[in-house]
Amino acid sequence: MGQPSRAEADVSVVSYLDIATLEAPIALCSLTGLVHAASRSARGLLQRVSHTEQLPAALPAELWGLLERTATGEAVEWRSPVAPHELLGCTRYAGGPGAYVLLMREVSSKRVALSELLHRQRVDMTEHLVASIARDIRSSVASMVYSAEFLNVSVNRAEPAVLAETMGDIARASASLQQTLDSLLDYARLGPSVCTPVPLRDVLNRAMASLRGQYGERAHRLRVDLAPRAEQVRGNPIVIEQIFVALLRNAVEASPTPRCVIVTAFPALPPPTMPLATGPRVCIRVWDDGPGISALHRRFVFEPFFTTKQGSLGLGLAIARQAAESLEGTLELADDDTGTCFSLSLPGIEEIT
């Protein structure tokens, strides 16, 4: 039998390290992709994606070719042809002369978990949206039906003033229904952009109706203080409601004890990134008396999938910021000595002189 090559000898020396007891999915291989040693978790991954039973064994040719084409230290993802439902992550590091260290990770289970969380988030948002729109439509339709029935039985004997008032009620309910449908089409990108006056107290009440379970079960308290000339903003009421749902949910999410949430609104100048000619602005602050956000995490709060709360997907604030920007607004994390405070700037209402 011939003498082993230098590479094989180096790997055989490295493989004496007892990596089988390591919890991390780590493997040692030669410069040609021959695995000589692997931890228990790495063995399990290799067995699932390539049906490898005994070591030493060659990595699948497709995986090794992908690793060779990728710089050391950079991760790759590979789907096994023998197990298409499995997705393997792998990073190659130099492990000494003639050897590589492979750090593996199972990606498929994480993708499945993320997919389930995304589905749950979409279902949750859809439920809130449908419930809010249904309330608005039912209210408008109920008003029109009541007024129509009144006219049907009273048109011949009602006073002209009463008839005029009833017709006015029908007109207002019809306009409200049309605005709801236009806002929905704009939200779904199926119609023209909607930018109408939106009473903040009304939209906050609708948002709280969507969160009644979360706030009512744990006795969280909400206080609203709207300054003069800051009772209304401009935009799509459905989009604005979704922003408040995200902010109000974030304020109490995963809190085991009752919290106090305070919403304030006041006239303000446009943010520094916007010219003064953009017109009046309203600054809305949503503050809660929770533990606050650490300095380490503050710059990440609007990053998609960033969260410190168990069971949360970490998309609410990212979506809320995008929604604010779609309305020519901004959403920022404000500085505050206590608790957590988010500052939302939205277009205000021009004063009629």
Percent of the chain with pLDDT over 90: 38
* Phi and psi at residue 20, to the nearest 5°: -60, -25
Which residues form the domain of 326? Answer: 195-353
Identify whether residues 14 and 132 lie together within a single domain.
no
Where residue 104 falls (left for φ over 0; alpha for ψ -120 to 50; beta otherwise) is beta
Identify whether residues 331 and 235 lie together within a single domain.
yes
Q: Which residue has the higher pLDDT, 306 or 290?
A: 290
CA 245 to chain centroid, in Å, comes to: 12
Where residue 170 sits, what CATH number does that domain have?
Answer: 1.10.287.130
**Whether the predicted pLDDT of 214 surpasses 50:** yes
Identify whether residues 76 and 118 lie together within a single domain.
no
CA dihedral 176, 181, 187, 192 (to 10 degrees): -100
- Mean pLDDT on 160-181: 90
Identify whether residues 203 and 180 lie together within a single domain.
no
Residue 114 lies in a domain: yes
- Mean pLDDT on 235-249: 93
Identify whether residues 33 and 112 lie together within a single domain.
no
Where residue 209 sits, what CATH number does that domain have?
Answer: 3.30.565.10
| pLDDT tens digits along 128-141 | 778 888 888 998 99
| pLDDT tens digits along 167-177 | 999 999 999 89
Residue 331 has a pLDDT of: 95
CA 173 to chain centroid, in Å, comes to: 34
**Whether the predicted pLDDT of 192 surpasses 90:** no
| pLDDT tens digits along 31-67 | 999 998 888 889 888 888 887 778 889 998 999 999 9
Q: Which residue has the higher pLDDT, 284 or 212?
A: 284
Query: Is residue 346 classed as helix, strand or coil in its secondary structure?
Result: strand
Identify whether residues 294 and 334 lie together within a single domain.
yes
At 109, is the pLDDT very low, low, confident or very high (cuts 50, 70, 90)? low
Helix ranges restricted to H, 29-107: 40-50, 61-68
Identify whether residues 318 and 201 lie together within a single domain.
yes
Most confident of 49-63, 225-239, 245-259, 290-304: 225-239
Identify whether residues 156 and 210 lie together within a single domain.
no
- Mean pLDDT on 86-106: 86
Where residue 213 falls (left for φ over 0; alpha for ψ -120 to 50; beta otherwise) is alpha
Residue 310 lies in a domain: yes
Q: d(Cα 346, Cα 328) in Å, to the nearest integer?
A: 7
Domain boundary (71, 89, 106) is at 106
Identify whether residues 184 and 214 lie together within a single domain.
no
- Mean pLDDT on 80-94: 83
Average pLDDT, whole number, for the chain? 83
Report whether the peptide linkage leading into residue 56 is cis, meaning its omega lies within 30 degrees of zero.
yes
Residue 10 has a pLDDT of: 44
**Domain count across the chain:** 3
201, 240 contact by CB (below 8 A): no
22, 31 contact by CB (below 8 A): no
Q: CA dist 121 to 91, 246, 279, Å? A: 31, 11, 35
User: For residue 21, what is the DSSP state?
Assistant: G
Residue 16 has a pLDDT of: 43
* Phi and psi at residue 334, to the nearest 5°: -85, 155
Residue 1 lies in a domain: no
Identify whether residues 73 and 146 lie together within a single domain.
no
286, 263 contact by CB (below 8 A): yes
| pLDDT tens digits along 6-27 | 444 444 444 445 676 777 899 9
290, 251 contact by CB (below 8 A): yes
Residue 17 has a pLDDT of: 53
Identify whether residues 28 and 54 lie together within a single domain.
yes
End-to-end CA distance of the chain: 101
Q: Tell me the longest C-alpha to C-alpha distance in the chain.
A: 116
Ranking 70-84, 218-232, 265-279 by mean pLDDT, the lowest is 265-279
Q: 66: which residues sit within 8 A by CB, 6+ positions away?
A: 76, 78
Where residue 33 falls (left for φ over 0; alpha for ψ -120 to 50; beta otherwise) is left
- Mean pLDDT on 174-185: 88
Residue 65 lies in a domain: yes
Identify whether residues 239 and 186 lie together within a single domain.
no
| pLDDT tens digits along 316-344 | 898 899 999 999 999 999 988 889 999 99
Domain boundary (106, 133, 153) is at 106
Ranking 111-115, 190-194, 244-248 by mean pLDDT, the lowest is 111-115
**Whether the predicted pLDDT of 276 surpasses 70:** no
Domain boundary (65, 84, 106) is at 106
Residue 80 has a pLDDT of: 81
